[in-house]
Amino acid sequence: MADDGDYKRDQNYITTRITADGRDGYPVEPGRYRLVIARACPWANRAAIVRRLLGLEDVLSMGIAGPVHDERSWTFDLDPGGKDPVLGIERLQEAFFKRDPEYPRGITVPAIVDIPTGQVVTNDFNQITIDMSGEWAKYHRPGAPALYPEHLRDEIDEVNAKVFADVNNGVYRCGFASTQEAYEAAYERLFARLDWLSDRLANQRYLVGDTITEADIRLFTTLARFDAVYHGHFKCNRQKLAEMPVLWAYVRDLFQTPGFGDTIHFPQIKEHYYVVHRTINPTGIVPVGPDESGWLTPHGREELGGKPFGDGTPPGPPLDAERVPSPA
């Protein structure tokens, strides 16, 4: 936290990359690595979506931590015996300490762990999904979409930078601000950017180009949590997402697209934020609402044209072990 009350995110991550040529010592190999996520976390949710869309389930397994953690790290309390069945660990912290016994920073998801050594390779959420699109291309499913096409990368990067600063991280800057001034500044930036996004999306179905790209995935995971968490818990309350017609239709369009809504688990999302953030919610009471049924209502975005997967195809159904309940 800065002296002015502004929330400053620690963006120092383990930046080792898993690449096709193995230049960092970790070559792409089917079955060698395990992606660790938590359904609650928007940054990890991105990796789960990209893995689904590209069809990497058979070559990159996925461990799912529970929604609640303590100061030590995320835990595998959803698994039998409280241990990840592949890594054999109770806490993600163990994989970080195998890499660096004195690892000094936060234990974050998503993280990719080298199964043979049990060491974390990277927790650089920004690069993980880009590398799934590029470095893992040999193992993409037939019909996988181009989520980071070369001819659109500059525009995708530009949009992503704005969305990260004002929306993805902006909701946290609202929620964790420790002065009124810092909160109001973050609030104004957040809603100014949401208005900008509404204008951008009023006449085009997706953020960049006419298909789903990395930019849509990064915005989606924040918008999906907006009414359930950020509106109340983080005081982002000018409007609910459901009261912003363009963005509400846009996010429902994505939610109903295979690979998006089937990665969202609203009860775990709410449990994480409302239980873990005791400085904001001292009682730990988790709200019952909002009603989830609206996520499956018609959105009308097809009229804007565009094709979700371009010339590709939708992913198949989730693996049985990775299914989440659909909204009522």
User: Is residue 41 annotated as a catalytic residue, yes or no?
Assistant: yes
Is 2 among the domain residues?
A: no
Phi, psi of 121, rounded to the nearest 5 degrees: -95, -50
Report whether 240 contacts 173 (CB < 8 A).
no
Question: Would residue 254 count as lying in a domain?
Answer: yes
Structure confidence at residue 149 (pLDDT): 98
Q: Which residues of 8-17 are buried (b: 16+ CB within 10 A; e: fewer)?
A: eeeeebbebb
Q: Residue positions in the annotated binding site?
A: 74
For residues 197 and 24, the answer to whether their CB atoms sit within 8 Å is: no
Does the residue 250 lie in any domain? Answer: yes
Would you say residue 204 lies in a domain? yes
Domain that holds residue 269: 159-322
Residues 6 and 22: their CA atoms lie apart, in Å, by 39
Which member of 13, 103, 139, 172 is catalytic? Answer: 172
Closest by CA position to 35, among listed 117, 103, 154, 129: 129
pTM for this entry: 0.97
**Confidence at residue 328, expressed as pLDDT on a 0 to 100 scale:** 62
What pairs with residue 27 in β-bridges? 19
In order along its 328 residues, the chain shows pLDDT tens digits of 456 789 887 778 999 999 999 999 999 999 999 999 999 999 999 999 999 999 999 999 999 999 998 888 999 999 999 999 999 999 999 999 999 999 999 899 999 999 999 999 999 999 999 999 999 999 999 999 999 999 999 999 999 999 999 999 999 999 999 999 999 999 999 999 999 999 999 999 999 999 999 999 999 999 999 999 999 999 999 999 999 999 999 999 999 999 999 999 999 999 999 999 999 999 999 999 999 999 999 999 999 999 999 999 999 999 999 999 887 6
Which residues are documented as binding site for glutathione? Answer: 74
CATH number where 233 lies: 1.20.1050.10
pLDDT of residue 1: 46
Question: Is residue 37, in this structure, part of any structural domain at all?
Answer: no
Q: Residue 25 to residues 19, 35, 73, 112: CA-CA distances in angstroms?
A: 9, 18, 26, 14
Domain assignment of residue 66, yes or no: no
pLDDT at 12: 85
Is residue 148 part of the annotated active site? The answer reads: no
Q: Tell me the one-letter amino acid at 199.
A: D
Choose the catalytic residue: 41, 183, 236, 250: 41
- For the chain, the domain total comes to 1
Beta strands per DSSP E along the chain: 33-38, 61-65, 111-114, 119-122
Within a domain: 199: yes
- Angstrom distance (rounded) from CA 325 to CA 302: 25
Domain-located, residue 239: yes
Residues 66 and 36: beta-carbon distance below 8 Å: no
